[in-house]
Structure 1
Amino acid sequence: MKLPSQIKCVIFDMDGVIIDSEEIHKKAYYETFNSLNLTVSDALYKSFTGSSTINAFQKLVKHFQLNENPEDLVLDKRRRYVNFFENDPHLHLVAGVEDLIKYLYQKNITLVLASSSAMININRVFDRFNLHQYFAAKISGADLKESKPNPEIFNKAAVLGNTPKENCVVIEDSDNGVKAANDANIFVFGYANILSEGQTLANADAVIKDFKDLKSIL
């Protein structure tokens, strides 16, 4: 897909794009897996990247034919995530993303957050790093009927951003997120975060490794 000639709205994913939280998500997931005495392969875990937590545990319960309730597992994993989040002093924003957010905001480009994380986790990140002021809207995939790679979240993001999709771009670090943007017919930049394991970004319209490069494009 061709880059829009006029970009009026940028839709950000959160985990792996705004905040380097993939590692603490992974720790929280694997603590939960271990509590269930499950051996989860790298391939299975990587298939969860970009999906909502409920979607991931629904897959897990089906895969291992567990009796556990996926909703209960979500709460267990979330509790473990919060513990890591609140006690990890090294948790930080992705390099260059804060400058990019402020740059776009000053250019009066509408910013929308579209994340598979629960809204409680989105707000936790936005509170900690003082990001609320820059974003016109925030959407949690956990509140939608379908998770990424379904395009629902990006279709809604364009609506909440009050912007035609042909004037929007998405920034994603996962293949599930890229597919969701593809299917929503929105131009998508794949951000090659080295912490986002096993993501090819093969179907992204463009791939970036440094947010400084985006400031000259957007």
Structure 2
Amino acid sequence: MSLKAVLFDMDGVIVDTEPLHRKAYFKTFNQLGIDVSEELYTSLTGASTKKVCDTLIEKFGLSETYEEIAAIKRAHFKDYFYNDSEFDLISGVRELIQHYYENGITLILASSATMTTINMVFDKFGLEKYFSGKISGADLKESKPHPEIFIKAAEMAGENIKNCMVIEDSTNGILAAHRAGIFCSAYKSYHTHNQNYSLANMIVSDYTELEVDRMSKFF
């Protein structure tokens, strides 16, 4: 058994788009005239846009469709994505991606984000060449914490799940990796709040801890 493939979540792992999503969502809530509590917003962290919109429509009895709400939110998000000066890759992740790539590890992106957002991030930060494949949870029937996305990512990598590792930062993502039976490293940073890491195989707050030689004791 050895580490052959790493399955990356994107939000909170490669980039922190969470503040951008947050700003875009709250601007959208204002536009829709609904009052979303912190508790409700936190419970939706890591869920697909469709799941968030469906929850809001049901909870607040909104007349808008999922497509209409998603379009409003997407326009705000795009604005922040290109214009928010604080938006950048998470510290140390580019070096880790390059390190895996140079060591012949297959990299797959497995994110709940839409493929449009994934491609925006990959283009903006020049990540395309390092990854062998990308999966958007928005294109799947089930979203995290269902394990489908990571099972598909391992298949895409062409590796046995025993030789794969997931890097995640959210309760739902960690639970999905656990249910898929894949080793999960939880990345915990100063901007991570209210997430449960109890099912992760290890917790790190510095990406150098996930370098190949350091992982050899697990694989």
Superposed CA RMSD in Å reads 1.1
SS in 2 for 1:217: helix
1:117 paired residue among 113, 116, 124 = 113
2-side partners of 1:34 and 1:197: how far apart? 23
Paired position in structure 2 for 1:97: 93
Q: Aligned partner of 1:25: which letter?
A: H
TM-score by length of 2: 0.94
Cα separation, 2, equivalents of 1:66 and 1:98? 41
Q: Which amino acid aligns with 2:99?
A: Y
With normalisation by structure 1, the TM-score equals 0.95
- AA aligned to 1:100 is L
Contact 1:13 1:172 in 2 (8 A): yes
The residue that corresponds to 2:61 in the other structure is 65
Match of 1:198 in 2: 194
Structure 2 equivalent of residue 146 of structure 1: 142
The residue type paired with residue 217 of structure 1 is R
Structure 2 spans left out of the alignment, 5+ residues: none
Check if 1:171 corresponds to 2:167: yes
1:178 is displaced (CA, Å) by 0.6
Question: Which deviations, in whole Å up to 9, do the C-alpha atoms of 1:39-85 show, x marking residues without a partner?
Answer: 11111111111111111111121122222211221121111100000
- In structure 1, runs of 5+ residues without a counterpart are none
1:187 corresponds, among 183, 188, 201, to 183
Is 1:7 paired with 2:3?
yes
Structure 1 range deviating more: 53-62 or 134-143: 53-62
> How much has 1:38 moved relative to structure 2?
1.2
Q: 1:161 aligned to 2:157?
A: yes
More displaced stretch, 204-213 vs 133-142 = 204-213
Q: For residue 84 of structure 1, what is the aligned residue in structure 2?
A: 80
Partner of 1:23: 19
Inter-partner Cα distance in structure 2 for 1:197 and 1:30: 18
CA contact (8 A) 1:17 1:193 kept: no
Q: Distance in 2 between matches of 1:143 and 1:75?
A: 17
**Alpha-carbon deviations, 1:135-189, whole Å to 9, x = none?**
0000001111111111111111011111111111100010010111111111111
SS in 1 for 2:6: strand
**Matches of 1:203 and 1:171 in 2, distance apart?**
13
